[in-house]
Amino acid sequence: MSGVRADAFTKTRACPSSADISSRRLPRGKSDQIARHIAGCEFCAAEQSFLSAFSLTAEEDEFAEMPVHLRRLAEALLVGKQEDSYF
């Protein structure tokens, strides 16, 4: 048996994903289901509070393109190659 209590403050398999908790574009039925879960789950309620306080705008949520020289450096490090210049 694990040392984790059943009522421990933790995310479980029954908990919705962070993306679903923070989404404002879920179908009504799924949104209602998540709201009911959050009402009874202290961890997810805290996560929802955190995510709503630090939510990103649509523009901030997009990934920035990695500069070519940094991509080459990352690829070289990942495959163990050494190159004279990455710039």
CB neighbour list of residue 14: distance below 8 Å, 6 or more residues apart: 37
pLDDT band at 2 (very low <50, low <70, confident <90, very high): very low
Residue type present at position 8: A
CB atoms within 10 A of CB 44: 21
pLDDT band at 63 (very low <50, low <70, confident <90, very high): low
Vertex 63: Cα angle to 58 and 66 (nearest 5): 155
- Dump pLDDT digits (tens) for 11-60: 999 999 999 998 888 999 999 999 999 999 999 999 999 998 876 655 55
